[in-house]
Amino acid sequence: MNIRLPKIVWINIGLLVLFLFVLILPGEGGLSSFFRGGKPLGYSDQRAGIQLQDAFRNVYNSAKDSVVSIRTKKTEAITSPYQYFDYRTEKLSSFGSGFLIHEKGYVVTNFHVISDAESIEVIASDGSVFPAKFVGSHERADIALLKIKEGSGLKPVSFGDSDKIEVGDWAIAIGSPFGLERSFSVGVVSAKYREDLDETGQTHIQTDSMINPGSSGGPLLNIYGEVIGINRLIRSDSGRNTGIGFAIPMNYAKKIIQLIEENKGRIIRPATLGVMATVPLPDHRKALGIPADWKGVLVYDIDPGSSAESSGLKRYDFIMEANGVQVKNINDLREQVGIVGLGGRLKLRIYREKSLEELTVRLIQK
């Protein structure tokens, strides 16, 4: 049975075919002309930019198999907003970042990333998931050490010298902001030694690299792909990145990691020495016989029942060294107390009544 279409239908079909032919026809009238665009910039025009782009690619490729995402789970009670006694328990997940420091499977992250976690998992760059064991942590320094099985396919990071960085140096962050694994951001070192940002009292590297919730524990890298810091916190009213982020300097972090490894299975808690001290004035030096070129801090008061009092530290003791490190100001002393932690021993070199002495202070709970 033959169906005869009206003449107007055949005309419309013909016009449609012609229109499609014009669109795909090569030339100025065709659709293909929309995608030709202008002539791009050549290599010679963009040589410097391409070389910098390649440098960033190299950093990412060198570090991507060292950086991990850390997923923790803990049980929390969820209360109904409508009935006070109506609640249920639920296992909630949270994310952070970390990086491998040793081929035996040791991973570093922030203490606050794994604090109170019931289970910890490490997610590698290829998506593999490994259960992680808690090795130890330092609460005040906000550093934790984990261990996964050997042969994970991850490679250890390379370490840089955080004391040699300068303001304006490239600073590259890799982490899992908002759970987005191995996000890469580039900035600069904004400041080398930021002190008294929080209760830890330790110094931080300031950077404008993008650090957001979930980036904590990831590495801050230099242009050579070396780790110069552990990304830790941001300064923001909204909780989102505002271009002011902070990382724990790697040279300081190494001391903490070594201490954690020596105290496996332990959370090193914050401690206080229990003294008020300051750099002495010239009159104080003259009265106490302290040479003008000696570095140190002068104790002018001691808390009753403190670690300092219990160990025999006295008023007007001039503290020159703590655990073999020169004390130039009160922050240097505070840092050494923080490193040792509660229950540790602090070896002091002091000047007392015109003689040098060694004194060991056990850091106790007041």
pLDDT digits (tens, 9 = 90+) for 183-201: 999 999 999 988 777 766 6
Separation CA 297–CA 276 (nearest Å): 10
CA distance 345 to 351: 19
Quick check: 1 pLDDT over 70? no
Q: How far apart are CA 113 and CA 58, in angstroms?
A: 28
Q: Is 142 a catalytic residue?
A: yes
pLDDT tens-digit profile of 284-313?
999 999 999 999 999 999 999 999 999 999
**What's the pLDDT score for residue 200?**
66
Higher pLDDT, 126 or 224: 224
Is the per-residue pLDDT at 28 higher than 60? Answer: no
Of the chain, the percentage scoring pLDDT greater than 90 comes to 61
Q: Which of 152, 216, 306, 311 is the catalytic position?
A: 216
* Angle (nearest 5°) at CA 163 between 147 and 60: 55
Exactly one of 66, 69, 97, 142 is catalytic; name it. 142
Q: How far is CA 70 from CA 90, 117, 228, in A?
A: 19, 11, 20
Ordered structural domains, the chain, with CATH? 64-147 (2.40.10.10), 169-255 (2.40.10.10), 275-363 (2.30.42.10)
How would residue 26 be classed by pLDDT, with cut points 50, 70 and 90?
low
Between CA 137 and CA 99, with CA 218 as vertex, the angle to 5 degrees is: 70
User: Is 236 in the active site?
Assistant: no
Taking alpha carbons only, the member of 302, 301, 314 closest to residue 355 is: 314
The pTM score is 0.79
Compute the average pLDDT of residues 59-83.
84
Confidence band for 88, pLDDT divided at 50, 70 and 90: low
* DSSP annotation of 66: T
Is 204 part of the annotated catalytic residue set?
Answer: no
Q: Report whether pLDDT(31) > 60.
A: no
What local confidence, expressed as pLDDT, does residue 345 receive? 92
